[in-house]
Amino acid sequence: MAALASITPHLSSSSLQIKSHLSSNISHHSISWNYMTRSVRKTTRQRSVSRGLKIQCAATKPAKSPAEEDWKIKRELLLEKKVRSVDAKEALRLQQENNFVILDVRPEAEFKEAHPAGAINVQIYRLIKEWTAWDIARRAAFAFFGIFSGTEENPEFIQSVESKIDKSAKIIVACSSGGTMKPSQSLPEGQQSRSLIAAYLLVLNGYTNVFHLEGGLYTWFKEGLPAVSEE
């Protein structure tokens, strides 16, 4: 009971930090945890309990992964590696005429609902699996905003892609919204998305023919392009 008492105040503090950061980032029901935790840093507290025993309890954020790198740095590398954005109709043509592979990085459930025919699914974010103090704090923060299926970065993303797609393949990475690398008056550095994060990870890991679906699968479906369902 003493150990539980020592954990509770700490989790409350961590949750408040996460809630504050979450409030400025939620724009999609399946938004990745990557966008919601940039400002949270490692915190550790020791509390004394009866008989002089000390128990260390921490809701500790893991070290920053490549997927959590600043968007500015990701964008610079994508441009340097000449990752090009294509619209939905061009993506379909490239798939049909030039053997491009469409890599759908949305959650598996969304993929099963509808996806381009022939697309390969490897989710870049997955449901939170563990129950460490940090994971409990994240679940609480998601729940505060009414999201009861919070997500985390998929640590097996690259390994799964490598098992399905050769590094010499021509890949079009797709997610729901697409994001953009194109600057605009309101977004001078474009806008990050799951597919652009995935494209960044692919070029970091040796993929040399990576493209990005501008407008995302939302545009694909809106334009009535070929789609299939697994349900």
d(CA 162, CA 206): 10
Tokens of residue 226, six digits: 């070929």
Collapsing DSSP to helix, strand or coil, 19 comes out as helix
Q: State phi, psi for 44 to the nearest 5 degrees.
A: -135, 140
Instruction: Work out the angle between the directed axes of helices 133-144 and 2-22 (0-180°, nearest 10).
Output: 50
Collapsing DSSP to helix, strand or coil, 184 comes out as coil
Q: Count the neighbouring beta carbons within 10 Å of the beta carbon of residue 92.
A: 20
Q: Collect all residues with Cβ–Cβ distance below 8 Å to 122 and sequence separation of at least 6.
A: 103, 104, 105, 154, 157, 160, 161, 164
Tokens of residue 142, six digits: 């998601």
Cα–Cα distances in Å, from 18 out to 4, 99, 126, 136?
21, 43, 19, 12
What are the residue numbers of the active site?
175
- CA 177, distance to chain mean position in Å, is 12
Q: Judge whether 101 and 171 are in contact, CB under 8 Å.
A: yes
